[in-house]
Structure 1
Amino acid sequence: MKYVDANTVQKRMNTRILKNNILKYLFLIATLFGLFVLAILIIQVLRDGLQWIDWNFLTGKLSNDAERAGIMGAILGTFWMMIVVAPVTLILGIGTAIYLELYAKKGVFQSFIQTNISNLAGVPSIVYGILGLTIFVRAMDLGNIVLAGGLTLSLLILPIVIVAAQEAIRSVPQHLSEASYGMGATKWQTVKNIILPAALPGILTGAILALSRAIGETAPLTVLGIPALILPFPEGIFDKFTALPMQIYYWTLDSSLVAEYVNLAAATIVVLLLLLFLLNSTAIIIRNKFQQRY
């Protein structure tokens, strides 16, 4: 056994402590830099947009006149789109996660599906826009309606929901399901009464955060040709529509022609941020409620 004197050990410890302190402060600087940039962006958006937010802006129709423009059509379009995205994503995503974790046999096929789902979660959103354009808009001849936009965004966030639901199911202690089987419960009874209730906080948190991402996506809707023109308010999933991200995108593009569009885009960003904040807060509340229950 090689002998190491106390001075050498002390030097190694000092080196490790130094490296630890350097990396700690480096990560702190990176975090503070990100927060600083975010704060600048939020302050600028609030400065440009808050003064334009009023009741007429929230309830009015789109208009070429910046003073009379409103975003109610974009709000309703976003709402109807989420009416499509939420059930499709939750049913398919949670169902797939349950099958892969609790019913599928471990092997090459299951591993192949799992690998592809994980890879799909990192695919750029514009690729899903191209897929939605090919399948829903052209092959199914739906056109750029709410249903086509909602199905496209469902494809976008479906892998994220599946992965989040799988992680939530894996986190359920094994002894709970074993106790259920020991009491004579069937597999489905165990899944329905034991595993799903215990995994529900993680599943709902992941699903709501995925829906928040879908609300803020612009690239897939741009590929689908979703307009930001003066449209009638959408009244169902088969109507043409626009959404809040699309309205922000077009007002930002046209700001070089009409200076006031910068303020309209900033005001719409504030509304979208508030909506995302409400969704994320809902996710936190749901998670805390069910964690206390189970």
Structure 2
Amino acid sequence: MASPCELLIETQDQLFANHLLQQVVAQTKRIEQKYSRYIAGNLVDRINHSNNSWVKIDQETHRLLAFAQTCFELSDGMFDLTSGVLRKIWDFTGKGQFPRPEQVANIIKHIGWQHIEFTEQHIRLPSGFELDFGGIGKEYAVDAAAKLCTELAPTVSTLVNFGGDIQVTQPRRHHAYWQVGIESPQLKNASQQVVPCQQTENTDQDTHAMVKIASGGLATSGDARRFIIHNNIRYSHILNPKTGYPVTGAPRSVTVATDFCIQSGMIATMALLQGSEAEHFLQAQQQKHWCYW
């Protein structure tokens, strides 16, 4: 998952906790092996190198593709799993250069979910196109791990946390809530302010919000650690698939709480893709959220 992962279990039974942890690790590794674009020879790799040929898929993959289709439609084309090819010209590790206009023009020819064909059994990508499940994969793994916990431990409250994307299965027996801290972005420009769009009783406007979760999902999207400086201008790693350039005017961080982690992640990412209209978008969704500029 390319991030710290943890499983919190409300139990005194160490053997049971170890068994549950092993099952969750196995499930998570299965999903990563199947959908990571970094693993040669897996399903995603076969799809991305299919050269306009049909590739067989299973029901799990079809459900993910159907969800991606919904994301694409709800975002007016901004949430696009084919936009991962932009990584070929953008590097936000601190080593990359600002791409040339001709590089951007060439790469966006290979972006556009509307060009992807899929059925319940097969998928076909045009030559030069790629799928990148990075926008929903980790959140999907969180929900899958939480679902497994519910099946194996229906009376035990568990919290799945993969790199800050969280799902809680049910209320705790004695304390009801799990408490989760939301870190505010570290701002390098002291003149900027961090202002939550929505606050709780435990909000510290300078540092973080403390959220109490009985059940449901929480996900955060932001650019606090991934960005590029060009001509003294800071550019986010959140890229507009229609232009090939970073989205401008977006918050530094958006956290959303819904029933499921994958739903929270979708809304948080969509909000960032709205740029300066992120807060209006979030308010329209009528979901609890925290937004830092």
TM-score after normalising by structure 1: 0.29
Name whichever structure is richer in helix by fraction: 1
Name whichever structure is richer in strand by fraction: 2
Q: Which has the higher contact order (CA 8 A, sep 6+)?
A: 1
